[in-house]
């Protein structure tokens, strides 16, 4: 890898590409950032999601014993959101969110360097589930993060 001050844009773009390849684009909108000002499908995956905070958190620290090398440790915040439309059972939507989260987790495990964009990546073990009841039916969201590390 070439020397740079950050690999965040590379990681963000690579993660987006991996997740886009997992889902049928006629059923799922996969996007970078917040889903504002767009017509969305009932299933949405947002990479770099920032509802109430940063889309991506990152730190860069000097690596011990490696001269001028630094380690970037970044967390890319993501969301899966499914709107139920005519469904009245949020648990059915939660099941689908779980399947989508598992697919993303397995894809990152299968390519832990995100195609060479970073030195390591993993879906973190912590995530949040949110539900809402709209006039059109239930909505279930899962907020999760992908942690990436790179020597700079």
Question: pLDDT (tens digit, 9 = 90+) per residue, 95-134?
Answer: 999 999 999 999 999 999 999 999 999 999 878 999 988 8
- Read off the pLDDT of residues 16-62 as tens digits, 9 standing for 90 and up: 999 999 999 999 999 999 887 778 899 999 999 988 889 999 999 98
Q: Which two tokens stand for residue 107?
A: 């894809």
Please tell me the distance from the alpha carbon of residue 54 to that of residue 126, in angstroms, as a whole number.
17
Tell me the whole-structure pTM to 2 decimals: 0.92
**Cα within 13 Å of Cα(18), Cβ side:** 26
């Amino acid at each position: 890898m070439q020397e740079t001050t950050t690999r965040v844009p590379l990681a963000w773009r690579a993660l987006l590409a991996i997740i886009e390849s997992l889902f049928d684009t006629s059923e799922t909108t996969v996007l970078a950032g917040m889903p504002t000002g767009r017509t969305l499908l009932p299933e949405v995956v947002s990479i770099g999601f920032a509802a109430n905070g940063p889309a991506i958190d990152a730190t860069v620290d000097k690596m011990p014993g490696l001269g001028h090398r630094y380690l970037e440790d970044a967390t890319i915040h993501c969301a899966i959101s499914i709107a139920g439309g005519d469904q009245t059972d949020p648990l059915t939507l939660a099941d689908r969110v779980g399947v989508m989260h598992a697919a993303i987790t397995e894809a990152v495990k299968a390519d832990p360097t995100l195609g060479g964009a970073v030195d390591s990546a993993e879906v973190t073990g912590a995530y949040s589930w949110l539900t809402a009841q709209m006039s059109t039916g239930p909505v279930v969201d899962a907020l999760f993060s992908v942690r990436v590390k790179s020597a700079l």
